[in-house]
Structure 1
Amino acid sequence: MILPRIVEWLARALAIVGGIVLGVIIVLTVVSVTGRALIWAGFGPILGDFEIVEALTGFAVFCFLPYCQLMRGHAILDVFTNMMGPTVVRAIDAFAEIVAAIVLALIAWRLTHGFVDKFRNGETSFIVQFPMWWAYAACLLPAYVSVATAILTSARGVKAALSGRDLLPEHHGME
């Protein structure tokens, strides 16, 4: 099926974009802090650096969510499930995947409302004065790819629970 491949490709591509954005955040922070340290030499911080870092960090987090969902990288607590059989564990995993899909859909829905609200009221950042809706708009695609990924992993989880075969990757979260 082509749709799961597209969703998986998007999840991976967004994770790469998120990593690049984190690199930009690092460079921006280093340059700004170095500028602050060299004020005596006529340099200074990047104007509104914290606003830019805040917006880029939010975007990076949303970029990592689909891949994290795809790879089951969310933190888990398996103290109780270690004592259960694979059938019960598959059922619990399927339920958790469904709950994650619902939560991610709620986040995407509210992010969309936030975007519309910021777009309509014209709110801007304090120092740089960039429209706040830009940050919300940037996060919309990754948020909806997260939802699509969660639906995909939910379907795989339910299929695994019903078939008795492991169809999801091993947990990669902090245990």
Structure 2
Amino acid sequence: MTRIVLRRLAIAMAMAGGVLLLSAIGISLLSMLGRRLWSAPISGDIELLQMLIAVAVACFLPLCEINDRHIRVDIVGTFLPALFNRVLLAIAHLVLALVSGLLVWRTALLALDSLTYNAQSVQLGIPQWIPQAAMLPGIAMLGMCALYQGIYCVAHDVEAAASEGDSL
């Protein structure tokens, strides 16, 4: 049940990220056309693209984690027993959950500092706390998905070890 809820939330977040990415593509296209056809690009287009892409990436991460689709390098893992590989995978998920928690904390502090000091983008004067705060749900959701995956791997390893012990 938890996995279904997390997966649906991750899909919704990824769809929002997709809308942001399409918006960034549209802004880039309009700016390039304006530059080529009328010598009038969108002012601050690069700032907008940076902000939109940062938030979009944060939105895509939870779906990647809940589907367990992160890149792995299995050079050493091919020589190790399957149980050891599962333990390493569980540790990796739990470490990702911890790192995600740290990122949420530090990004929230960054957004609060940006709000307190009225930090703005250079060209457009967009308050920087807005995209920083917009990244928080994606990073927090990444942490929840990683924690779930880590706990699931540990529980699955305990079940696998118990069933292997029964079969001996």
User: Is the TM value for this pair above 0.5?
Assistant: yes
Residue 63 of structure 2: aligned partner: 67
Q: Give the corresponding residue for 2:111.
A: 115
Give the fraction of aligned pairs with identical amino acids, expressed as a percent: 29
Report deviation, 1:85.
2.1
Code of the aligned partner of 2:148: L
The list of structure 1 runs, each at least 4 consecutive aligned residues, that deviate by more than 6 angstroms after superposition, is none
TM-score normalised by the chain length of structure 2: 0.90
State the match for 1:135 in structure 2: 131
Q: Report 1:24-173 matches (<5 A).
A: 24-39=23-38, 43-164=39-160
Question: C-alpha distance in 2, partners of 1:128/1:70?
Answer: 36
Letter in 2 for 1:33: M
Q: Is the 8 A contact 2:6 2:66 kept in 1?
A: no
Partner of 2:6: 7
| In structure 2, C-alpha distance between the alignment counterparts of 1:34 and 1:143, rounded to whole Å | 34
Indicate the structure with greater helix content: 2
Gaps of 5+ in 1: 166-175
Q: Which runs of 5+ in 2 are unaligned?
A: 162-168
Tell me the distance in 1 between the aligned counterparts of 2:156 and 2:100.
Answer: 21
Deviation of 1:136 after TM superposition, in Å, equals: 0.9
How many angstroms does 1:144 deviate by? 1.0
Aligned partners of 2:27 and 2:45 also within 8 Å: yes
In 2, the alpha carbon distance for the partners of 1:71 and 1:6 equals: 13
Count matched residues: 161
Structure 1 residues 88-136: Cα deviation after superposition (integer angstroms, max 9, x where no partner) = 1111111111111111111111111111111111111111111111111
Normalization by structure 1: what TM-score? 0.87
Letter aligned with residue 8 of structure 1: R
Which residue identity is paired with 2:21? Answer: L
Relative contact order (alpha carbons < 8 A, sep ≥ 6): 1 or 2 greater? 1
